[in-house]
Amino acid sequence: MKRELTLSQLRHLTLESQGLTKPNPFGTGKNAVLTALEQLGYLQIDTLSIVERAHHHTLWTRIPDYQPVYLNELVQERKIFEYWFHAASYLPMKDFRFALPQMLDIKQSTTHYYNADPKVMQYVLDTIRTEGPKKSRDFEKETKKAGSWWSWKPTKIALERLFLQGDLMISNRNGMQKTYDITENVLPQNIDTSIPTDMEFAEYLVKTYLQAYGFTTIKQITHLKTGGLIRKNVEEILKSMLQEGTIQRINIENSPPIFIKNDLLEKSLDNATSSIQLLSPFDNSIIHRDRIKLFFDFDYKIECYTPKEKRIFGYFCLPILFGDTFIGRVDCKAHRKEKEFELIHLHVENTTINLELWLKPFLELVKSFATFNNCETLKLTQVTPSKLTNTILKFNNHG
């Protein structure tokens, strides 16, 4: 039996699936990191460090006692691994086999971006096999020896190519410095390494998105996956799941067909939340910008890649989510040497919600996030609308 859902109920359902509606949704400590990653399906790794990097920020949002060392410890324990989802990501080790098709494609490709010199690739492989795990800078030292016929750049390209085609895995990470090892040395023996069929891969994508978001669309499932075959297979999997009764298809005005898990439809969806979140621009919940625009009426774009003169909100704006409503965004920067966390420009975009409902918890959240960024003081530079500046400063000074 079909159930009619309001837009608000859909928003709550997807935020709950994302772990954004209650404290400690995945538990606490390092175990919560693995639980969260298995629920979300992947965790995007980002190099930008204007504030704490995206992979750490995303987990801190859901795990209050999160420590950045947890991720690398889980890599060392072989419970998670690094590879490509729609971007460089951490993935649950149990899903390793679903990375194999892309590895195979890259291995067979002669035109891929990492078109490394085969001789250098063989040298890199032989060196790691003989001497053990290596960082890219270890090869940089080698290039300075007299008589070296290779240079650091080709060895770095070779490392990346060997990683992407599955001959190497990342066994350790210190910040953005990666350590590479032979895949057979990293991969647990009990991991399934059979290459999934096209239909198995499509089923993995469908189930990953349904689990992580509660409901999904074909466009989201096939995000950045090129070719007609993957879409055809996804449609087949969805059709089969509809026939089994594990999902339902619902239609919302101005939206493509939505596919939703049946077990979620049986839950109470009226538990409104008033929690407040300061999200990373690369948070799983907001990474699909058209989905956020469609279901949350929030038009979001990160502007660090936009020329300065064309930016509207700022270099690194973090979306602010209150309950199931995006009430604004704030351009932030952690000045780590000065131990000062700056709110460069706070944009309050939803002024229909009473400021007193969200401002105090927001400022408490920002202070907590500043501490997570190893900052001790908070600085508010600009507010839009400007008429709110004095009110916000007063709240902050008495908070």
What is residue 13's predicted lDDT score, i.e. its pLDDT? 92
What is residue 109's predicted lDDT score, i.e. its pLDDT? 83
The two three-digit tokens of residue 204, written as one number: 């993995």
**Which residue type occupies 340?**
E
Instruction: Choose which CATH entry (3.30.365.10, 1.10.10.10, 3.30.2000.10, 1.10.3720.10) describes domain 7-96+192-265.
Output: 1.10.10.10
Q: What is the pLDDT along the chain (399 residues), one digit of tens a residue?
A: 456 678 888 999 999 999 999 899 999 999 999 999 999 999 999 988 999 999 999 999 999 999 999 999 999 999 999 999 988 999 999 999 999 999 999 998 876 657 788 999 999 999 999 999 999 999 876 555 544 444 558 899 999 999 999 999 999 998 889 999 999 999 999 999 999 999 999 999 999 999 999 999 999 999 878 778 999 999 999 999 999 999 999 888 878 899 999 888 777 665 666 799 999 999 999 999 999 999 999 999 999 999 999 999 999 999 999 999 999 999 999 999 999 999 999 999 998 898 989 999 999 999 999 999 999 999 999 999 998 888 887 766 655
What is residue 251's predicted lDDT score, i.e. its pLDDT? 86
Q: Which parts of the chain are beta strand (E)?
A: 43-44, 80-84, 88-92, 134-135, 168-174, 177-182, 215-216, 247-250, 258-261, 276-278, 317-322, 325-335, 340-348, 377-380, 383-384
What is residue 1's predicted lDDT score, i.e. its pLDDT? 47
**What is each CA distance from 8 to 25, 110, 326, in whole angstroms?**
20, 49, 13
What is residue 221's predicted lDDT score, i.e. its pLDDT? 94
The CATH number given to 109-186 is 1.10.10.10
DSSP assignment letter at 380: E
Residues contacting 143, CB < 8 A, separation 6+: 150, 151, 152, 155
Where are the domain boundaries for CATH 3.40.630 in the chain? 301-397
Where are the domain boundaries for CATH 1.10.10.10 in the chain? 7-96+192-265, 109-186
Selection from 264, 331, 262, 267 nearest residue 303 by Cα: 331
Instruction: Choose which CATH entry (3.40.630, 3.40.50, 1.10.287, 1.10.8) describes domain 301-397.
Output: 3.40.630
Supply the pTM of this predicted model.
0.93
What is residue 149's predicted lDDT score, i.e. its pLDDT? 41
What is residue 128's predicted lDDT score, i.e. its pLDDT? 97
Q: Are 318 and 48 in contact (CB under 8 A)?
A: no
